[in-house]
A and B are shown apart, each in its own frame.
Chain A
């Protein structure tokens, strides 16, 4: 079983749609959680950290359920520029950020 599992997609949605991605992780001792965005043939970039209480950044909302070991990302009012691969990322270490990446969920937003 992979440490971080995501639906690879692709999710095809029209502009303006709301889309949700889910992710599960296997290590219950995981310390911190993130969503990264990766455009085609580019480096990953941090989209947002995920906090236990849930957090929002503009059109993006992230939630964490430690009991179920489940992380989600909700994107509202999708834009064409949101088309990318979204990586669920978990830090399994206490001493430093030893990041474990999911393989990503691909989102395609069409006009």
Chain B
């Protein structure tokens, strides 16, 4: 079946612009996660959704970052007033549920470059 999809695959923007990154999870998966992977760094947790609610958004680096999920499906990560340090690969993952052993399936990521 279809896996997690993300769009766009690449995004180049100018400092100060806003960007929106989209994630389509696997159908039926109730849990959705956003991560960021900067060059030479490990994946960094940003936010977790269960359904449309975000019980844990502790990883969002600043108030310029926000995310929402609608219909228990698609999620959008928005970065306002982008900065060069926001350049990274943004990865979305989904799992059937939030269980501790539920496998997280990752999308291919959006590579964001802020000039």
Chain A window 87-111, contacts with chain B (Cβ cutoff 8 Å), 1 for yes, 0 for no: 1000101111111111110000000
Chain A residues 41 to 60 lying within 8 A of chain B, measured CB to CB, are 42-46, 49
Known: A43-B91, A95-B55. A103 touches B98 (CB 8 A): no
Dominant secondary structure of chain A at its interface with chain B:
loop
Interface size class of A (residues with CB under 8 A): 20 to 34
A64 at the interface (CB under 8 A from B): no
Contacts of B35 in A (CB 8 A): 99, 101
A27 at the interface (CB under 8 A from B): no
Known: A43-B106, A43-B108, A43-B109. A100 touches B45 (CB 8 A): yes
B56 at the interface (CB under 8 A from A): yes
Expressed in whole angstroms, the minimum distance between the Cβ of B40 and any Cβ of chain A is: 7
Known: A32-B101, A43-B91. A99 touches B45 (CB 8 A): yes
B100 at the interface (CB under 8 A from A): yes
Chain A window 51-87, contacts with chain B (Cβ cutoff 8 Å), 1 for yes, 0 for no: 0000000000000000000000000000000000001
Could you tell me if B106 and A49 are in contact, using CB atoms closer than 8 angstroms?
no
Chain A residues 1 to 39 lying within 8 A of chain B, measured CB to CB, are 2, 4, 31-32
What would 10 more interface pairs be, CB under 8 Å, given A96-B48, A101-B44? A2-B42, A4-B42, A31-B100, A43-B106, A46-B104, A94-B100, A96-B31, A97-B99, A103-B42, A104-B42
6 contacts between A and B (CB under 8 A): A91-B100, A93-B56, A97-B31, A99-B43, A100-B42, A101-B35
